[in-house]
A = this chain, B = another copy of it.
Amino acid sequence: MSAELRVLAVAGLPEVSEGMRVGELIADAAELEAGDVIVISQKIVSKAEGQVRKLSAVLPSAEARRLAAVLGKEPALVELILSESAEVLRAERDVLIVETHHGLICANAGIDSSNLPDADTVCLLPEDSDASARRIRTEITTAMTAGSGMGLAGHSTSSSAKSHPRPAIAVVISDSFGRAWRLGQAEVAIGCAGLAPLDDWRGRR
């Protein structure tokens, strides 16, 4: 049994904007080791991928304007939420619960305006968070291998890591979701790379 889990904050990251390589920024800012799982907030991944939208540049459809009036929301924001959604599950009193194109059930399709440098801008989720995690993982492992000479099989005990001579790190992209019937927010993994997201306990005692 693993006797200890340590969770460390990565300090000193810059304000992230479109085109920045998040994996390289993290590899520069943190002292990473093989076996680490790097949890990244969705917001900086979306910013790096250009998933930020100016509300004033969005033209709301008639359906978005109708729904916005019912909900008391901005029509441009509702237009973006609908464009990111496969289905609207609930729409009443300022609450818009949808299933996104990714299959996530969440409020406002995961779109929000927090932690953005400009007013009038909102941030969408990454288009494919698993793909984002894979790309960031490659950036980090490349930087680790180049930067410190580590990770060439010796740091890992798994045979799969030996056939792929890279440091065995994993990446999780997480977002804050509300939970039905509950106050507060919980972090939810919306994408990952380098780990199996479920541990199969069927048949174990």
User: What B residues does A4 contact at CB under 8 A?
Assistant: 6-9
Interface of A is mostly: loop
Q: Could you tell me which A residues sit within 8 Å of B by CB distance?
A: 1-9, 11, 105, 180-181, 183-184, 197-199
Partner of A198, one of B2, B7, B11, B183: B183
User: What B residues does A7 contact at CB under 8 A?
Assistant: 4-7
User: What B residues does A183 contact at CB under 8 A?
Assistant: 198
User: What B residues does A198 contact at CB under 8 A?
Assistant: 183-184
Contact between B9 and A1, CB atoms less than 8 A apart: yes
A7 and B199 CA atoms in complex are apart in Å by 19
Whole-angstrom distance between the Cβ of A112 and the nearest chain B Cβ: 13
User: What B residues does A3 contact at CB under 8 A?
Assistant: 8-9, 11
Contact between A181 and B5, CB atoms less than 8 A apart: no
User: What B residues does A180 contact at CB under 8 A?
Assistant: 180
Can you identify 14 A-B contacts, CB atoms within 8 angstroms?
A1-B11, A3-B8, A3-B9, A3-B11, A4-B6, A4-B8, A4-B9, A5-B6, A6-B7, A105-B181, A180-B180, A183-B198, A184-B198, A184-B199
User: What B residues does A11 contact at CB under 8 A?
Assistant: 1, 3
- For A4, give the chain B residue with the smallest CB separation: B8
- For A197, give the chain B residue with the smallest CB separation: B184
User: What B residues does A199 contact at CB under 8 A?
Assistant: 184
Contact between A6 and B6, CB atoms less than 8 A apart: yes
A197 and B5 CA atoms in complex are apart in Å by 22
A180 and B2 CA atoms in complex are apart in Å by 29
Known contacts A3-B9, A4-B8, A183-B198; 5 further A-B pairs (Cβ under 8 A): A3-B11, A4-B6, A5-B6, A7-B7, A184-B199
